[in-house]
Amino acid sequence: MLRIEVGPDDLARSRFAVSPLVELENLTRALRSGTHRSPVVAARLRPELDRLRREGDLDVLLALQSPHYGPGFVAPPPRGMGQTVEDDLAAVRATPLRVARAEIAQALHARPVRDPRVARLLASDDVVVIVADVLERAWHALVAPTWPAIRALLERDVVHRAHRLAAEGWAGAIDGLHDRLRWRSGGIEVLGRPGGEVHLGGDGLLLVPSAHAWPHLTTYLEEPWPYAVVYPARGVAALWSTAVPPPPAALDRLLGTARAAVLDALDDPVSTSQLVARLRLPLGTVGDHLRVLRDAGLVSRARAGRSVLYRRTPVGDALAATGAGLG
């Protein structure tokens, strides 16, 4: 078991971040192992993964993935909620060759490569550029089409977790984060993860939600990462769901079908782009309905990173609950 000891300064200095390339890494691992939470998503993306392996040198990237290790330079640590894939790729391309070689050697020690062509590419002096180009192609093919909805989900999770961290401390933030993670006697315990005891030393913990991490929990204890935990974000099942539940009938009659659906979807903070993806309504329509609901005092909004998140006000909650009771 790994135990992370926290001190009085660590709570205030802990922070959340999103990581586009960690999302890509978790997705490729899940597709390879057949553990992706959504069979529909896996069936849709698996042919694209196979195409990238045939045509885009994706095996160079996959060769660096082992069950318990992945090179740090392939998924650099994110700085915050505003992290973009361009930020990540720039960090990858800036990796010194000696650093890349050392991390590649460690990865291949954990899982030797058998393909001679992949071995030659990983031994090349251009390996940093090769890996960065593979990452960029894989990102655009596998993650970019759904990234707006994924980012909205991650931001929504962070709003929830940050509120619990501020209101309830570590116990509230860790509760429900993952079944292998628990708060015990002033420290964070990671079950099933060897490593003994580490101390945050006042630097805090980096918490990174991921839409594709399930069912795994990943801890980072070595440079270039700070101490960090990557965990499955809340609400992922709804993100991959193809069914949109109808709003209560009474609410539908009062507000109209589309506007009632928007209000009904705002149990937790959510962005406009996520509402568009979930409700399958045009962006302009969703924006108009949100504006009307805000003017009526049923919806509020707050900024999180680069996104604006909407949720029901207490009046909106009361109306939605009344509509459900009457429907």
Kindly state whether residues 209 and 273 are assigned to the same domain: no
Kindly state whether residues 250 and 219 are assigned to the same domain: no
Q: What is the pLDDT of residue 243?
A: 45
The torsion angle over the Cα atoms of residues 228, 168, 151 and 39, rounded to 10 degrees, is 80
Kindly state whether residues 10 and 152 are assigned to the same domain: yes
Got the DSSP string for 128-139? HHHHHHHHHHHI
Q: What is the pLDDT of residue 325?
A: 45
Which of 111, 145, 179 is the C-terminal boundary of a domain? 145
Kindly state whether residues 133 and 25 are assigned to the same domain: yes
> Which residues constitute the domain of residue 195?
2-15+148-234
Q: What is the pLDDT of residue 11?
A: 84
The DSSP secondary-structure symbol of 69 reads B
| pLDDT in single tens digits along all 327 residues of the chain | 899 999 888 888 899 999 999 999 999 999 988 888 888 888 889 999 999 999 889 999 999 998 778 899 999 999 988 899 999 999 999 999 999 999 999 999 989 999 999 999 999 999 999 999 999 999 999 999 888 878 878 888 888 888 888 888 888 888 888 999 999 888 999 998 887 899 998 999 999 999 998 888 999 988 888 999 999 998 787 677 654 445 556 666 667 888 888 888 887 788 888 888 888 889 999 999 999 898 888 888 887 667 788 888 867 776 776 555 444
Q: What is the pLDDT of residue 247?
A: 54
- Report how many domains make up the chain: 3
Residue labelled with tokens 């991390």:
103
Q: What is the pLDDT of residue 321?
A: 64
Q: What is the pLDDT of residue 260?
A: 86
Q: What is the pLDDT of residue 252?
A: 63
Kindly state whether residues 138 and 179 are assigned to the same domain: no
CATH number at residue 278: 1.10.10.10
Which of 234, 254, 274 is the C-terminal boundary of a domain? 234
DSSP E strands, 55-185:
181-184
Number of H helices, E strands in the chain: 15, 11
User: What global pTM score does this model have?
Assistant: 0.74
Kindly state whether residues 10 and 38 are assigned to the same domain: no
Kindly state whether residues 11 and 156 are assigned to the same domain: yes
3-state secondary structure of 172: helix
Question: Residue 186 has which token pair?
Answer: 């002033």
